Amino acid sequence: MARGNPVRPLFEIVLYQPEIPPNTGNVIRLCANTGCRLHLVRPLGFSLTDRQLQRARLDYGELAEVVQHLDWRACRDHFADRRIFAITTRGEIRYDQARYREGDVFLLGAETRGLPDTVVSQFLPERRLRVPMREANRSLNLSNAAAVVLYEAWRQLDFPGGS
């Protein structure tokens, strides 16, 4: 995976203990295509050499920077001076109602369980975002939710760097 990108990315995506390799591979592609950096909070439910991950990311792995963090505390400390938004079904603000700015960070939980209450409770209500869906449903696909929120944030800034 790419390393040493000297340019601060427009946005950062954090996957908290991801479990399904193809989802992470898809988010790697998303980051490569939007100029974002991906952060993974351990433990991961797979190896970064997993075939399904490699297949989903295609040849975009070299175009996206991926940073691993030992745990949530290390990741949170890494972003101590940044605005972090938790994307959660328990969010109080619809993702398109937030006003984003360069440097914002988007945190998404594990596919089968989302973000734990101990993590969500660390965020002010205005930093807990939700993506609307039908009431009877539990969740969106992780990489789809990341894309929806990221593209709204990028749109608000008029897609700098995009063509």
pLDDT digits (tens, 9 = 90+) for 23-48: 998 999 999 999 999 999 999 988 77
Instruction: State how far the Cα of 110 lies from the Cα of 140, in Å rounded to an integer.
Output: 12
Q: What pLDDT score does 80 carry?
A: 95
Q: Is the predicted pLDDT of residue 3 greater than 60, yes or no?
A: no
Using an 8 Å Cβ cutoff, are 73 and 41 in contact? no
Q: Is the predicted pLDDT of residue 2 greater than 70, yes or no?
A: no
pTM to 2 decimals?
A: 0.91
Portion of the chain with pLDDT greater than 90, in percent: 69
Instruction: State how far the Cα of 22 lies from the Cα of 146, in Å rounded to an integer.
Output: 14
Q: At 114, phi and psi to the nearest 5? A: 65, -155
pLDDT (tens digit per residue) in 70-99: 999 999 999 999 999 999 999 989 999 999
Domains delineated in the chain: 12-156 (3.40.1280.10)
Q: Is the predicted pLDDT of residue 151 greater than 60, yes or no?
A: yes
